[in-house]
Amino acid sequence: MSTSCRQSALKKLSAAQFTLWELHLYLDTHPGDLQAVALFKKCHAKYTALVSEYEENYGALTGFNAEGAEWLKNPWPWDIEGCE
């Protein structure tokens, strides 16, 4: 599990999440925009796949989905990862 690999997976995941979040906020003020709803669904499928891929390789993103002490493993989001 290399650091650069984790970071590039995280970057991909964050980009997909960002797209989804932007659409989500837009839909708060444009709930009737069916085109945006369709786009949200499309992006959501991609995002879900990326979350599963990330969690399988690098551990759970939310505590309830972690098994035992897996949740406590470093790195935490504020940690700087070394290059071992």
Partner 1 sequence: MAEKSVALGYRGVRIRMFVYEKKLQYPVKITNPNPKYAKIIITQYGGPDGELGASLRYLSQRFAMPYPELKGLLTDIGTEELGHLEMIGTIVYQLTRNLSIDEIKKAGFEDYFVDHTTGIYPQAASGTPWSAAGMQSKGDVITDLSENLAAEQKARTTYDNILRLVDDPDVREPIKFLREREVVHFQRFGEGLRLATDRLDSRNYYMCNPAFDKNCGK
Under the rule (CB under 8 A), what is the footprint of partner 1? Answer: 7, 10-11, 13-14, 17-18, 20-22, 24-26, 28-31, 44, 47-48, 51-52, 55-56, 59-65, 71, 76-78, 80
Q: Which is nearer to partner 1, 28 or 84 (CB)?
A: 28
CB of residue 51 to partner 1, shortest distance in Å: 5
Give residue 12's identity as a one-letter amino acid code. K
Structure tokens at 52: 């599963």
Q: Which is nearer to partner 1, 30 or 38 (CB)?
A: 30
Q: Which position has the token pair 């891929």? A: 53
57-61 long-range Cβ contacts below 8 angstroms, 24+ apart: 57/1, 57/5, 57/6, 57/9, 58/1, 58/6, 58/9, 58/10
Q: Which position has the token pair 């940690």? A: 79
CB of residue 70 to partner 1, shortest distance in Å: 11
CB of residue 55 to partner 1, shortest distance in Å: 7
